[in-house]
Amino acid sequence: MVEQLRTIGDHGIIGDLETAALVARDGTIDYLCWPALDSPSIFADLLNSGKGGAFEIKPELDNPRHFQLYVPDTNVLVTRFMAKSGSAEVLDLMPQPEARMRAGRCARSLIRRITVTSGKVTFTVRCAPRFDYAREIPEVAAIEGGVSFQGEDLSLCLFASVPLEPNSEDASARLTLSKGESAWFVLGDDTMTPPDDALVSSLIEEAINAWRSWQGKSTYKGRWREQVLRSALTLKLLTSARYGSIAAAATFSLPEALGAGRNWDYRATWIRDASFTVYAFMRLGFVEEAEHFNRWVSERVGNCDRSSPLRIMYALDGSAMADERELSHLAGYAESQPVRIGNAAHAQTQLDIFGELLDSVYLSNKYGSAISHDGWEHVRTIIDHVVEHWHEPDAGIWEMRSKPRHFLHSRLMCWVALDRAIRLARKRSLAAPLVAWTETRDAIAGDIWDNFRHPEHGYFVQERGGTELDAALLMMPLVRFVSSSDPIWLKTLDAIGEQLCDDGLVYRYRGADGLEGEEGAFTTCTFWYAECLARAGRLEEAQMNLAKGLAYANHLGLFAEEVDVRGLPLGNFPQALSHLAFISAAYFLDRRLDPTHRPSWQP
């Protein structure tokens, strides 16, 4: 296994609520899909250094230190270079639709502004896009104020405040700036006209103001506020301003285990992950995002037949997720092949998605707008499906690529779907067969208590008749299926601590899952475990586990999907599920540590 030039955790993320880019500590953008988050990549050096495409800014400084930070309360990133001979910084951003409108600029763009903060610094800049997942090298040509990159189906322009040199496969510039001097580079669609200094400054200012305006809507004032709001800003980057859908992560094919083939495409809306994200947004006072997603998902249900009311995942525009394909021409992150796009799991049955969705619908109705008549009809369609299929095996929350099994977590979330629908019907006096629904809900509960227990120790187990544990069981008290102080649950919590936890690392399961290699610890489960400890009254343990989980964030507070035994990031990045689980744990633990603090939103 070769050493990776830039690791997963060496990056910050920027975006415009349509797509997102990763910016490495050394000033290189080595990941960006265009024009949407789930479009083909134009920069993907992170998946194949020197071949995938990159946008480099390199200061000529002797042994500089690299720092990254966000402009406070925004997703505008600053990368700093500090050396004895001088220092400089790069400001990176992608103006949101709101910011572009206020600046009088409709075209989408990526802005990079260099500023020297001390001494005199020479820079080499190189923009080398590789279209269609690095399968196409665009033609480069000089245009007024910059260069164009022309491909078969995509055309981009790069404008700059300094001369650009078009080459056969890239565009470059070499410039020297003194303290206080700046230069900018703007990459965008071919509809973009050359900007000037005033427009670039206006776009930057409006982008900063737009992020701060959004962040200012937060009602959260508790502990870990800075980290919580950074997680919220990250989740916001994964939402689509156009559709209301929410991506599971910004990237594709970053490995969960090096060299093991566990490389998946997460640039899609999983109903489960997006519903969890709705919980997180609502906890913090961001109700608009929840309602936008609910409208999006309502359209999906409305377009399905009654035999299958919902897919487990969708493309961001609401269409079917693409079938899984391998990009054999890319070496993969740290040579971890195959590089995959699309996701074969879209064809799986995962019964738990209905519970996560109905919980988010219930909470949205409780703290947002009342459900519409059509919306309630969609709920009834979903519940009819759950009533008919809850007892069947499925692939489960972890998308096992093996024979379907009877997972406790799937049963649990079917119970949640019925429970929340019953509560909503009673709260809003909505027409529903409540007696039949209640009987089915109670039958599911009885099945869990009777058939999903360890035959010797009595605690809950992963699947019917089994003996293995699953960190997904940590959801049981979080969705109020079982009391957090119930003796059987406490035995389960202790067993998870003994068998799935390792000094703050929490693994999803230990058994075989039909795939090669051993994955890392799952960041989300670390925060679920901390919240369960807090709910059980074990506050000291909860605080310590939350602190360890926070330590697995990178230098900017961003979480990957998993971490290895050394605590280094693995998997797609940043991962929505990791950030929303942290928000939930921090929110609950803050309330338990300060019982006098009772925010208006109650989980």
Compute φ and ψ for 427, nearest 5 degrees. -65, -40
Q: Is the pTM of this model over 0.85?
A: yes
CA distance 374 to 362: 15
Give me the pLDDT at residue 437, please.
98
Angle at Cα 214 formed by Cα 284 and Cα 478, nearest 5°?
Answer: 20
Give me the pLDDT at residue 401, please.
84
Among 271-275, 389-393, 401-405, the least confident range: 401-405
CA distance 377 to 371: 10
Kindly report, residue by residue over 398-435, the tens digit of the pLDDT.
998 889 999 999 999 999 999 999 999 999 999 999 99
CA torsion sign for 153, 159, 162, 163 is positive
Q: Which tokens belong to 435?
A: 């007696």
For the cut 80, the answer to whether the pLDDT of residue 17 exceeds it is yes
Compute φ and ψ for 58, nearest 5 degrees. -120, 115
CA distance 456 to 448: 16
Give me the pLDDT at residue 533, please.
97
> Is the previous residue joined to 35 through a cis bond, with omega within 30 degrees of 0?
yes
For the cut 90, the answer to whether the pLDDT of residue 1 exceeds it is no
> Is the previous residue joined to 574 through a cis bond, with omega within 30 degrees of 0?
yes
Strand pairing category for 171-178 and 109-128 = antiparallel
> For the chain, which residues make up each domain, given as ranges?
8-193, 225-593
Q: Which tokens belong to 147?
A: 């260069």
CA distance 523 to 552: 8
Amino acid at 175: L
CA distance 317 to 299: 11
Give me the pLDDT at residue 597, please.
55
Kindly report, residue by residue over 22-64, the tens digit of the pLDDT.
999 999 999 999 999 999 999 999 999 999 999 999 999 999 9
CA distance 233 to 548: 22
For the cut 90, the answer to whether the pLDDT of residue 514 exceeds it is no
Kindly report, residue by residue over 204-237, the tens digit of the pLDDT.
999 999 999 999 999 999 999 999 999 999 999 9
Among 74-83, 98-107, 298-307, 432-441, the least confident range: 298-307
How many Cα neighbours within 13 Å face the side chain of 486? 14
Contacting residues for 275 by C-beta, under 8 A, at least 6 apart: 353, 356, 357, 359, 360
Give me the pLDDT at residue 603, please.
46
Grade residue 148 by pLDDT with cuts at 50, 70 and 90.
very high
Cβ pair 52, 60 in contact under 8 A:
no
Q: What CATH architecture is 225-593?
A: Alpha/alpha barrel (1.50)
Residue 570: which region, alpha, beta or left (left: phi > 0; alpha: psi -120 to 50)? beta
Grade residue 114 by pLDDT with cuts at 50, 70 and 90.
very high
Cβ pair 281, 232 in contact under 8 A:
yes
For the cut 60, the answer to whether the pLDDT of residue 334 exceeds it is yes
Query: What percent of the chain lies above the pLDDT cut of 90?
Result: 88
Average pLDDT over residues 259-286: 94
Grade residue 305 by pLDDT with cuts at 50, 70 and 90.
low
Which run of H or of E encompasses 155? strand 155-160
Kindly report, residue by residue over 549-587, the tens digit of the pLDDT.
999 999 999 999 999 999 999 999 999 999 999 999 999
Amino acid at 490: L
CA distance 118 to 598: 48
Cβ pair 262, 522 in contact under 8 A:
no
For the cut 50, the answer to whether the pLDDT of residue 601 exceeds it is no
CA distance 241 to 101: 13
For the cut 90, the answer to whether the pLDDT of residue 367 exceeds it is no
Cβ pair 159, 185 in contact under 8 A:
yes
Compute φ and ψ for 326, nearest 5 degrees. -110, 135
Provide the CATH number for the domain formed by 8-193 in this structure.
Answer: 2.70.98.50
Give me the pLDDT at residue 260, please.
86
Amino acid at 466: G
Give me the pLDDT at residue 518, please.
79
Tell me if residue 402 falls in helix, strand or coil: coil
Average pLDDT over residues 483-495: 98
Partners of 110 in the β-ladder:
187
Give me the pLDDT at residue 600, please.
47
**Average pLDDT in the chain:** 94
Q: Is 319 exposed, middle or buried (0-12, 13-18, 19+ CB in 10 A)?
A: exposed
User: Would you tell me the crossing angle of helices 576-593 and 539-551 to the nearest 10 degrees?
Assistant: 150
Among 41-55, 226-240, 455-469, 587-601, the least confident range: 587-601
More confident residue, 479 or 5: 479
For the cut 70, the answer to whether the pLDDT of residue 3 exceeds it is no
CA distance 6 to 13: 14
Q: Which residue, 507, 511, 542, is CA-closest to 523?
A: 507
Give me the pLDDT at residue 368, please.
80
For the cut 90, the answer to whether the pLDDT of residue 89 exceeds it is yes
Give me the pLDDT at residue 307, please.
65
Strand pairing category for 86-93 and 109-128 = antiparallel
Average pLDDT over residues 276-289: 93
CA distance 417 to 382: 9
Cβ pair 46, 30 in contact under 8 A:
yes
Give me the pLDDT at residue 598, please.
52
